[in-house]
Amino acid sequence: MLNDKWQKMIASAARKSDVVAAARDFLSSWSPEQIAALPPDCRPGEMNEAEDVIDYAFILVSKQCAAEHQPPALNAMASFFAAASMRLSEISAPKDFTLRRPLKP
């Protein structure tokens, strides 16, 4: 679960660069020990562009879905980057975009 600070930071991002900056801030809040608790293939690389955030979100969520029980560190990292990736999609969507039919819950 993503805490309020990070949810608000992502939700208030108006530009792709704001989301990338939030991702960098989020990663900098993790200690080396917390990063080491991630599976080796899920440790973060550099976050310089929106595509880096999106690609990393895909890696994390794919790993998260691969097995029922994952380390809490992976779940926390995946939650943030999934939310950041969704925000990037919202920012990138055309301003006049509307769903033709609502998604079913």
What is the pLDDT at residue 1? Answer: 66
The reply to whether 66 falls in a domain is yes
Going 94 to 95 to 96 to 100, the CA torsion angle's sign is positive
Parent domain of 24: 4-92
Residue 98 counted as domain residue: no
Predicted TM-score of the model (pTM): 0.86
For residue 97, being part of any structural domain is answered with no
Task: Tally DSSP H helices, then E strands, for the chain.
Answer: 5, 0
CB 75 within 8 A of CB 64: yes
Residue ranges in the chain modelled with pLDDT below 50 = none
How remote is the C-alpha of 31 from its chain's centroid? 18
Q: What pLDDT sits at residue 101?
A: 57
Q: What local confidence, expressed as pLDDT, does residue 100 receive?
A: 57
Say if 50 falls within a structural domain.
yes
Question: For residue 99, is it within any domain?
Answer: no
Give the pLDDT score at 8. Answer: 93
Question: Would 44 be classed as within a structural domain?
Answer: yes
Burial profile 21-49: b = 16 or more Cβ within 10 angstroms, e = fewer: ebbbebbeebeeeeeebbeeebebeebee
